[in-house]
Chain A
Amino acid sequence: MNTQQELLQNSIEFQTRIQKGFKVMGELGEIRVGLSAKTPIYNENKLVLYRYLPLPEIEPIGTPLIIVYALVNRPYIVDLYPQRSLVQGLLNQGLDVYLIDWGYPTSGDRYLDLTDYVDGYINRCVDAVLNEIGCSKVNLLGICQGGSMSLCYSALYPEKVKNLITMVTPVDFHTPDNLLSNWFREIDVDLLVDTMGNVSGVLLNSIFLSLKPFQLGIEKYLDFAKIVDQPEKVENFMRMEKWIFDSPDQAGEMFRTFLKAFFHENRFVRGGLKIQNRVVRLRDLRQPLLNIMAKHDHLVPPAASKPLKYLAGSNDYTELVYDTGHIGIYVSSKAGGDIPIQISDWLRSRETAN
């Protein structure tokens, strides 16, 4: 350990930093996220479909790209702030970007299930974009749970999806390193949903944080104490904090059907998944597939995502693995800078096909 004098010096520096940090935090004001300009083009119930306004100097070309995010968190993570924005990166590459904002379900949405989300909301959003642009197909970018829903949709409506991109998307929910899936395996989901109705976002968030309680609950704030006197870094940290703890409730029946179909029965692998009495088979996916994974993802380990290569019927399958975690894939500087370019290049090379 340091000498007494060094310890004292460290302590003084720490206290000075914390004091300055209080001042910095007091002057922060409102934490603003999702700053890229967008306009709503379709809404239904709590859902809003946004179109991001193209950058003035870049005219978007090609097939529109719809981002389908998960239900468990808010989708503005893909546009957190200008320096960490997947959406900005895609707009910079000249893509026409849309985003489905699911909103905050209330008790009136308790009976929305997987069919309502996939065959209802996503299908109508796609139709809205097709009518808006006057084209016959869209590109889909599904993230996490949104990726699973995008896989279902693309298998049901291959005629509407030109290219499919999945990011940190679970396909095989029963891999040994999938801690979340192991924990959910023994939960009586029928009892849970019948008791709670909509499943609380706070509860789900607590479970996600408890996957790595010490790193996510303590170490993160130790790191924060080091930057607490730097206004820009504090603001970015607060943006992440806002997103992490901004967890909508999940519609009860959606939670029940999703958990049963995937976490319990692993239907992508075992087959037999039905949506609106139509069987969903991943081998019906014929469109080009780009599967992006995060190497250190503790929520969706790469092993849970890689089986897509063998389960999908597509002849054009591409994999990208980044050296980040589940959230770092869209907010880290390295991945965040490279991914939009990779996506854009991949889409452009397939633009004239089909």
Chain B
Amino acid sequence: MGHEPDSFNICELGELLMMFQPWAMTDPANLLNPWVQPFAPKQAAPPSPHQQILNLFQAFQSLQESYLKQGSDFINQQQIGDLTRSFALNPVFTAIPSINNLMPNNPVSNFFSGWQPQPSWSAQTTQLPALGITREFQEDQNKLIKLHEQLVLAFGEYMQLFRPFSQNVSEKFSKILSGSGNVQNFDELCRKWINICEFEFQKVATAPEYSHTFGKLINSSVQLQNHVNRMQEKFSQLQGHPSRSELDELHQKNSEANAEMKKMQQEIEQLKQVIEQLQKPRSKGRK
């Protein structure tokens, strides 16, 4: 059992010769020489239109991946935390194996799967006291970042509740796909999937922790919106525009005035009726 010698490669010989006779290869006249031509460096054939399209697509895809990586790295720096390892879309995409198989490298799940808990520049900067003439703005910005993180964490907690949902749906649906569900047609298959999902969803949604987590999510979202409203209002006032608070105050006064007016109208009607009663001719009394 010996090592089989490499087969003789005439091209390698040509390349060897090229090393010693580069002038022979660079002289254009030699390119026409049939003895030299096989050993000449091969010029790449121009790509076919199909290949050009593929190249363009690959370039676009690599550009997209680089953007996604940049975004992923940026979010890593925001310190979302361990919670987001099992973030929204991973359990959803693993719930139905067929979808995962159709999109094994779907960019969205790849986007989230790369997150790592890291020290956050935002966590450090938001803890710094605000300084200088723009301190109020700095405080608003810091609070905005904190509220945004709070919302993302609340959303992560909310989606965590659906982990058993996705696992159970996946198991039950896999049984149907494997043939044990006795499905006769595609419509029936869809309805079975819907019923499974609805049943598992109700299990999650009726659990006590759901209302707590749902409330936390809504409250976090509204807190963020509330803070944004306040910041917008400050900018509006700086620019001399009427603010939301001023309009609300006007509406409130208008509403109270309307209610007061209606009440007065009612009292006037009652008084009118009393006056009508008093003005009725009295029945003739005894003399």
Instruction: Identify the A interface with B (CB < 8 A).
Output: 1-2, 6-7, 10, 107-112, 116, 120, 124, 179, 182-183, 185-188, 191-192, 194-197, 211-215, 218-219, 222
Contact = CB atoms under 8 A, between A and B. Distances in A.
A116 B259 contact: yes
Contact of A214 (B186, B198, B218, B226): B198
Contacts of B226: 191, 194-195
Given A183-B211, A186-B211, A214 B194 contact: yes
Contact of B218 (A187, A197, A219): A187
Interface stretch (B20-28, B40-48, B122-130, B249-257): B249-257
Contact of A2 (B185, B206, B255): B185
Given A191-B219, A196-B222, A10 B248 contact: no
A214 B197 contact: yes
Given A2-B184, A222-B187, 12 more contacts: A1-B185, A116-B255, A124-B262, A182-B210, A185-B211, A186-B214, A191-B226, A195-B229, A212-B198, A214-B201, A218-B194, A219-B194
B32 interface: no
Contacts of B247: 107
27 contacts: A6-B185, A108-B251, A110-B255, A111-B251, A111-B255, A111-B256, A112-B255, A116-B255, A124-B262, A179-B206, A183-B211, A183-B215, A186-B211, A187-B218, A187-B219, A188-B215, A188-B222, A191-B223, A191-B226, A196-B225, A197-B244, A197-B248, A211-B205, A214-B201, A218-B194, A219-B191, A219-B194
A1 B219 contact: no
Main secondary structure of the interface of A (DSSP, over half): helix
B212 interface: yes
Given A107-B247, A110-B248, A215 B185 contact: no
- The size class of the interface chain B forms with chain A is 35 or more
Contacts of A112: 255
B190 interface: yes
B53 to A, nearest CB: 30
Contact of B251 (A110, A186, A213): A110
B168 to A, nearest CB: 14
Contact of A195 (B186, B214, B225): B225
Contacts of B218: 187, 192
A215 B225 contact: no
Interface string B222-236: 110110010000000
Contacts of B99: none
B215 A187 contact: yes
Contact of A10 (B186, B211, B225, B256): B186
B143 interface: no
A10 B225 CA distance: 49
Contacts of B194: 214-215, 218-219, 222
A185 B215 contact: yes
Contacts of A108: 251, 254-255
Contacts of A196: 222, 225
A120 B255 contact: no
A354 B125 CA distance: 74
A213 B255 contact: no
B59 interface: no
Contact of A186 (B191, B212, B222, B244): B212
A10 B187 CA distance: 10
B209 to A, nearest CB: 11
A179 B210 CA distance: 10
B17 interface: no
> Which of B183, B184, B256, B259 has its CB near the most chain A CB atoms (within 10 A)?
B259
Instruction: Pick the most buried of B198, B210, B223: most chain A CB atoms within 10 A of its CB.
Output: B198
Contacts of B255: 108-112, 116
A1 B229 CA distance: 56
Given A111-B252, A185-B215, A187-B219, A215 B198 contact: yes
A152 to B, nearest CB: 17
B216 interface: yes
